[in-house]
Amino acid sequence: MLLKIKYSIINSYETKVPKNAMKHYWSITFDELKGNSLSRYRTWVAAGKPKQGTIFNDMKDAKYKYKMAVRDAVRSYESRFSDDLFDHQLSKDMQGFWKVWAHKTCKSVISVDSIDGKTDDLEIANAFRDSLNVCSNRKDSRC
């Protein structure tokens, strides 16, 4: 039973969550910088990978700008995320804390219609509880 629930969760994640969903900081600017960096890299390779000169410097500059922009965006995003949560927690505003948490992490809620043929929330919760009880009562760890 537990394996079926685990499989349902993994399957839902793999089919419903976009692959780039974890990069909340990504923007069109990064696509342009990445494209420019890749273009300069290909030009550098086509020129025989010189170790100095204009082509080498252009490739290194484009790569540096791209990496720095992504690094700065990640740091900014993480800082903003942490600061908002910290402010709500510090003021003991748990409702605001969870609202920010949901806004920052849960872009869309994945809805599962049924688990193991059960559609009622209480039935699913009881089945999950029962499977955990069975697993906790076993001496081996293969549940």
pLDDT tens digits, one per residue of 82-91:
666 777 666 7
Task: Give the number of domains in the chain.
Answer: 2
Can you tell me the distance from the alpha carbon of 111 to that of 39, in angstroms, rounded to the nearest whole number? 41
Q: What range defines the domain where residue 119 resides?
A: 108-136
Residues 123 and 76 in one domain: no
Give residue 136's pLDDT: 62
Is there a domain that residue 30 lies in?
yes
Check whether 8 has a pLDDT greater than 90.
Answer: no
Taking the whole predicted model, whether its pTM rises above 0.75 is answered as no
Mean pLDDT confidence for 98-120: 70
Residues 77 and 117 in one domain: no
Is there a domain that residue 5 lies in?
no
* Residue 23 CB coordination number (10 Å): 14
Kindly give, in sequence order, each residue whose CB lies less than 8 Å from that of residue 100, ignoring residues fewer than 6 positions away: 84, 85, 88
As a whole number, the mean pLDDT across the chain is 76
